[in-house]
Chains A and B, each alone.
With several copies, the nearest count.
Chain A
Amino acid sequence: MEVLSAMSATVILGVIGSDAHAVGITILEQALSTAGFEVVNLGVQSSQQEFISAAQAHEGDAVLVSSLYGHAEQDCRGFHEAIEEADIDPITYIGGNLAVGQDDFEETRDCFREMGFDRVFDSETKPTEAIAALKADMNIAESEAERARLTT
């Protein structure tokens, strides 16, 4: 994989399904922009198709799906099949509060990994962790400090 600079990397960000939790992506958008990413923020209540169309239109390198309200699994069914059909291959992350009720996060992670997401983040995730992960996955040069933070 070539070494990218964050400046040229485009990230599609949004909240999927009928979820309207906007605070998290507002914070993420700002942090990603500050870190040098090109961010396309779809906002809340975005459909799978909206994510895919945006990824196509903006040549998105990564698709960041947020879900807080507990319906992530239903909302993401078939998402990766649709991505494949659309003939694009972005990095896909999902994060937030992914299950209804007081679940064990390891199970949740496995579930979404199986669905095709490259990384799964819980709701304790800080924007810096998402940025470090993106840089690692996109092979963007990053400082030692960030690398250290990522691996912990």
Chain B
Amino acid sequence: MLRDRRLSGEDLSRIDERIRSDWSVEDIDFEEAIAYHESLPASKEFASVLEDADRPLLQPRAGVPRLDDQIALLGHLEDAGRADLLPTTIDSYTRDNEYEKAQQGLEEARESGEDTLNGFPAVNHGVEGCRELIEALDTPIEVRHGTPDARLLAAVTFAGGFQSFEGGPVSYNIPYTKGHDLAETIEHWQYVDRLAGAYTERGVTINREPFGPLTGTLVPPAIAIAVGLVEGMLAATQGVRSITLGYGQVGNLVQDIAALRALKSLGEEYLPNEATVTTVFHEWMGGFPPDEARANGVIALGAATAAIAEPDKVITKSPQEFGGVPTKEANAAGLRTTKQLIDMMREQDINLDGVEREREFIEESTRSLMDTILQLGDEDVARGVVEAFDTGKIDVPFAPSDSAESAVLPARDDDGRVRILQFGNLALDPDLKDVHTDRLDRRARAENRDRSFQMVADDVDAISEGRLIGRPGGEGA
């Protein structure tokens, strides 16, 4: 039965063998891998570079199928983009554990020179391929993916020299897949986290980063934060000691700053002291404007928010987000636009009215959700979160997964803050719910219409159409 407790050494090796049967990879020698990590310079130690920084570090998203292309791409982001941390984004077939298809795609890419995969198939590149990548660049690199069952990916990339790994059982299931059972996904991630813990115990800290933005689309902060806390707690149980909690920009300055503050303080409250908690802010993860100039405006608002809230890391977007995978130049441009704004604003003392009140509201809401989860699991967070999703007591808007109710519907209030229009079974205290309803009523009155799904649809489109709030009357309004 699923329990939030640390996997044993035997568990680990048993699973190790099982996952290796999915796809033949060379044998991984843990001791040799530790030695390899130890041979890397301090400047490639992801956790310490991140934790010791005195300003928000910038990291883009990027992944192409071929190794040499990936090296060139990351090199460009390092040089022209001045990225502080680098990513390697994994392709969709690998995320589905379809290593055979990924192999095909990789070979097609090698032959035709065209990228038929949407990311870097790290398992197919194997430990050696990963190490070549790590060695070719000066900056620490994180694995970013969206894989519900990331066990083989973790085994290969950890041995391959990566020291940071995004995702978690909730955040890489609920927004990323349809059919995966949540309890099973948690078990799979217990392996990933335990493996990270095993490296950590040997002095090779593997940084773990729950994927904060979830579906990227109007996710109410308390929901995102609760999921991050759950994943952080699960990871800590397995011995992870460097945890970066994430949050995706919603576009309201006060709410975003408040959410980042709440994320940090709740992280420190809920996660054990042995774990070092850092935060990451994702520039707007929802639909982008189909226009690079306007996209730069969206990116800049994210950068301005980061400059004020000062998270430990910022994940940048490119002005080509709308159109498809960006060119390396556009990707580097997104980094530089962000950097310019952060560096111009960071030293300014900027305090906004209302941040504290919103932070308290977010913290109370998150606690309300966390109480439910822990209660449902009888203080076992693993069982609690499964039960909570099962009953819709915790829920994510626009979630494609069968493991979530997906009954929660968000909409913006009259100030542009994301509130909840339909709660489904979401286990939020009634007085907290009233705040949401009240705020949305106020907006509905201001717009002279009913609270309705149309509001949600309008808000989903608003930023790509050039506004924050989807007022009736469209673009010109």
Direct contact of A and B (CB under 8 A): yes
Interface residues of A (CB under 8 A from B): 15, 17-23, 26-27, 30-31, 43-45, 69-71, 74, 97, 99-103, 123-124, 126-127
Q: Does B325 contact A (CB under 8 A)?
A: yes
Once the chains are docked, how many angstroms separate the CA of A55 from the CA of B27? 47
Given A18-B95, A23-B215, A44 contacting B118 (CB threshold 8 A): no
* Inter-subunit contact B320/A102 (CB<8 Å): yes
Once the chains are docked, how many angstroms separate the CA of A39 from the CA of B177? 22
Min C-beta distance of B101 to chain A, whole Å: 9
* Inter-subunit contact B290/A70 (CB<8 Å): no
Once the chains are docked, how many angstroms separate the CA of A141 from the CA of B98? 46
* Inter-subunit contact B118/A70 (CB<8 Å): yes
* Inter-subunit contact A100/B178 (CB<8 Å): no
Chain B interface residue bracket vs A: 20 to 34
* Inter-subunit contact B324/A45 (CB<8 Å): no
Provide a sorted-by-A list of 5 A–B residue pairs whose CB atoms are within 8 angstroms: A20-B175, A27-B461, A44-B177, A70-B325, A102-B323
Q: Considering residues B177, B287, B327, B457, which has the most beta carbons from chain A within 10 angstroms of its beta carbon?
A: B457
* Inter-subunit contact A23/B175 (CB<8 Å): no
Q: Which residue of B has the minimal Cβ distance to A122?
A: B290
Once the chains are docked, how many angstroms separate the CA of A26 from the CA of B323? 20
Min C-beta distance of A130 to chain B, whole Å: 13
Q: Which residue of B has the minimal Cβ distance to A126?
A: B461
Given A23-B287, A100-B116, A100-B324, A18 contacting B215 (CB threshold 8 A): no
Min C-beta distance of A96 to chain B, whole Å: 11
Min C-beta distance of B339 to chain A, whole Å: 18
Q: Considering residues B217, B287, B290, B324, which has the most beta carbons from chain A within 10 angstroms of its beta carbon?
A: B324
A-B contacts besides A18-B93, A20-B177, A43-B178, 12 pairs, CB < 8 Å: A18-B96, A20-B400, A22-B215, A22-B398, A70-B325, A74-B116, A97-B324, A100-B116, A101-B115, A102-B325, A102-B326, A103-B324
Q: Does B30 contact A (CB under 8 A)?
A: no
What A residues does B92 contact at CB under 8 A?
Answer: 17-19, 69-71
Q: What string of 1s and 0s marks CB contacts (under 8 Å) between B89-106 and chain A? A: 000110110100000000
Q: Does B399 contact A (CB under 8 A)?
A: yes
Once the chains are docked, how many angstroms separate the CA of A45 from the CA of B92? 12
* Inter-subunit contact A22/B118 (CB<8 Å): no
* Inter-subunit contact B399/A124 (CB<8 Å): no
Q: Does B460 contact A (CB under 8 A)?
A: yes
Q: Does B297 contact A (CB under 8 A)?
A: no
Q: What string of 1s and 0s marks CB contacts (under 8 Å) between B369-399 and chain A? A: 0000000000000000000000000000011
Min C-beta distance of B308 to chain A, whole Å: 28
Q: Does B361 contact A (CB under 8 A)?
A: no
Of the candidates A22, A27, A99, A103, which one forms a contact with B457 in the assembled complex, judged by CB atoms under 8 Å apart? A27
* Inter-subunit contact B290/A124 (CB<8 Å): yes
Ranked 6 nearest A-B pairs via Cβ: A22-B400, A44-B400, A45-B178, A70-B118, A18-B96, A20-B400
Q: Which residue of A has the minimal Cβ distance to B98?
A: A18
* Inter-subunit contact B217/A23 (CB<8 Å): yes
What A residues does B327 contact at CB under 8 A?
Answer: 101-102
* Inter-subunit contact A100/B118 (CB<8 Å): yes
* Inter-subunit contact A101/B325 (CB<8 Å): yes
Given A18-B96, A22-B398, A100-B118, A30 contacting B453 (CB threshold 8 A): yes
Q: Does B472 contact A (CB under 8 A)?
A: no
Once the chains are docked, how many angstroms separate the CA of A45 from the CA of B324? 19
Min C-beta distance of A27 to chain B, whole Å: 5
What A residues does B98 contact at CB under 8 A?
Answer: 18
What B residues does A43 contact at CB under 8 A?
Answer: 178, 400
* Inter-subunit contact B457/A31 (CB<8 Å): yes
Once the chains are docked, how many angstroms separate the CA of A31 from the CA of B324? 25
Q: Does B179 contact A (CB under 8 A)?
A: yes
What B residues does A18 contact at CB under 8 A?
Answer: 92-93, 95-96, 98
Q: Does B281 contact A (CB under 8 A)?
A: no
Once the chains are docked, how many angstroms separate the CA of A44 from the CA of B118? 18
Of the candidates A21, A100, A123, which one forms a contact with B322 in the assembled complex, judged by CB atoms under 8 Å apart? A123
Once the chains are docked, how many angstroms separate the CA of A127 from the CA of B453? 14
Q: Does B176 contact A (CB under 8 A)?
A: yes
